[in-house]
Structure 1
Amino acid sequence: MKRFTILTALAAGGLFTAASLAAPEDFVTGPLIENFGAVAPIENQMPIPEDTVFRIAFDVSTPAEVGEINRKFNSAARFLNMHTAAGIAADDIQIAIVIHGGAVQDVSTGSHFTPGVQPANAELIATLLAHGVKIYVCGQSAAYHDIGVENLLPGVTMALSAMTAHALLQQDGYTLNPF
């Protein structure tokens, strides 16, 4: 299948006109993850080779504001949406998120910190997991913040440390996304 630019893919779907130049209202979610990961249509001048397979690790240490979605989790959804819109098969995009520092609270159940409060990131985390994203928590950071395996959102995996998770992911061909 020939790779399309996001501009071409979205234009074919009638999602924008040539007059739009990626103003905030032009950012759309999908085609893979709805409600998260909005991207703008772009006339891509850097071709993506036909046989491209992405294996990307996102490093997340900064927590979101209380009640807000963690920006880095949303970036993982953006990566998936942007590249599937550009013609990359979803199966050719493998993402892992490694969480440490204060961000471990963003994948903890709301009852752990505030009884009865649903964590703001719960829906996005469940959606990412449903699309094959692997999510690892630094066990050292979790211990520091008094978070046990039983306090993690469903599907989130406890690792020995963020350093360990990144080392193992790199050995498995993942590159670190600096954004």
Structure 2
Amino acid sequence: MKNLSPLGLLVLLCASPVYAAMTDFKAGPVFTEYGKHAAIDGVTIAPTETFKIAFDAVKGAEPGSINRKFDTLARFINMHVANGAKLENIHLAIVVHGTATFDVLSSAAYKQVKGVENANTPLIQALINKGVRFIVCGQSAAAKDISADMLEKGVEVELSAMTAHARLQKQGYTLNP
């Protein structure tokens, strides 16, 4: 900054930032409690563009906290709809395994296992209500003594996370790890 000309300083001060401050991140328009994102000037999504994306969640949240990977799906939906995508053209799935398997437990099962309410329950239900698929790895569930009746309503069980990803790929989903 020491050798910056007056014109250079003016350009620097007037330039609009490419990035946003954390205070610029807002939820909505689809999920008003989840999925905060920042507006990016000049970027739009064609309403005809279709997304089929599989996400992966292996790390569980701290007890009583929301799993950041689950919130990522709400953020993906919010930011794309806010920029022109049609909700009906967004098809998301999340394959849940490892310690994240606990985060898809029903409220009662989670409280029994972790001793607190499952903060993920409202988010999981909101996402499922918008068509997001939650697929739990049967191998992780078996290793953690989790039965299908312990899972949140609407969560699917697959043989393994590997199987789930292979089947999703056959259905045209791309992977966003």
Work out the CA distance in 2 between the residues paired with 1:80 and 1:113. Answer: 27
Work out the CA distance in 2 between the residues paired with 1:21 and 1:165. Answer: 35
Q: Does 1:160 align with 2:159?
A: yes
Q: 1:110 to 1:50 in 2, by over 3 A?
A: closer
Q: Does 1:59 align with 2:56?
A: yes
Q: Which residue of 1 aligns with 2:66?
A: 69
Q: Which residue of 1 aligns with 2:118?
A: 119
Give the TM-score normalised by the residue count of structure 1: 0.83
Q: 1:170 to 1:104 in 2, by over 3 A?
A: same
The SS at the match of 1:135 is strand
Q: 1:105 to 1:49 in 2, by over 3 A?
A: same
Choose 1 or 2 for highest CA Rg: 2
| 2:97 and 2:136 in contact (8 A); partners too | yes
Q: Which residue of 2 aligns with 1:41?
A: 39
Work out the CA distance in 1 between the residues paired with 2:121 and 2:27. Answer: 18
| CA-CA distance at 1:22 after TM superposition | 2.0
The Cα offsets for residues 136-168 of structure 1, whole Å up to 9 and x where unpaired, read as: 000000000100000001111111111111000
Q: Which residue of 2 aligns with 1:109?
A: 106
| CA-CA distance at 1:24 after TM superposition | 1.3
The Cα offsets for residues 44-67 of structure 1, whole Å up to 9 and x where unpaired, read as: 45x645532000000000101111
Give the TM-score normalised by the residue count of structure 2: 0.84
1:81-92 aligned at under 5 Å gives the runs 81-92=78-89
Q: Does 1:98 align with 2:134?
A: no
| CA-CA distance at 1:92 after TM superposition | 0.5
Q: How many residues align?
A: 160
Work out the CA distance in 2 between the residues paired with 1:86 and 1:122. Answer: 27
Identity %: 48
Work out the CA distance in 2 between the residues paired with 1:113 and 1:126. Answer: 15
The SS at the match of 1:114 is helix
Q: Which residue of 1 aligns with 2:13?
A: none
Q: Does 1:22 align with 2:49?
A: no
| 2:137 and 2:159 in contact (8 A); partners too | yes
1:142-153 aligned at under 5 Å gives the runs 142-153=141-152
- Structure 1: runs of 5+ lacking an equivalent: 1-17
Q: 1:174 to 1:21 in 2, by over 3 A?
A: closer
| 2:110 and 2:118 in contact (8 A); partners too | no
| CA-CA distance at 1:112 after TM superposition | 2.6
| 2:64 and 2:116 in contact (8 A); partners too | no
Q: Which residue of 2 aligns with 1:78?
A: 75
Work out the CA distance in 2 between the residues paired with 1:113 and 1:149. Answer: 13
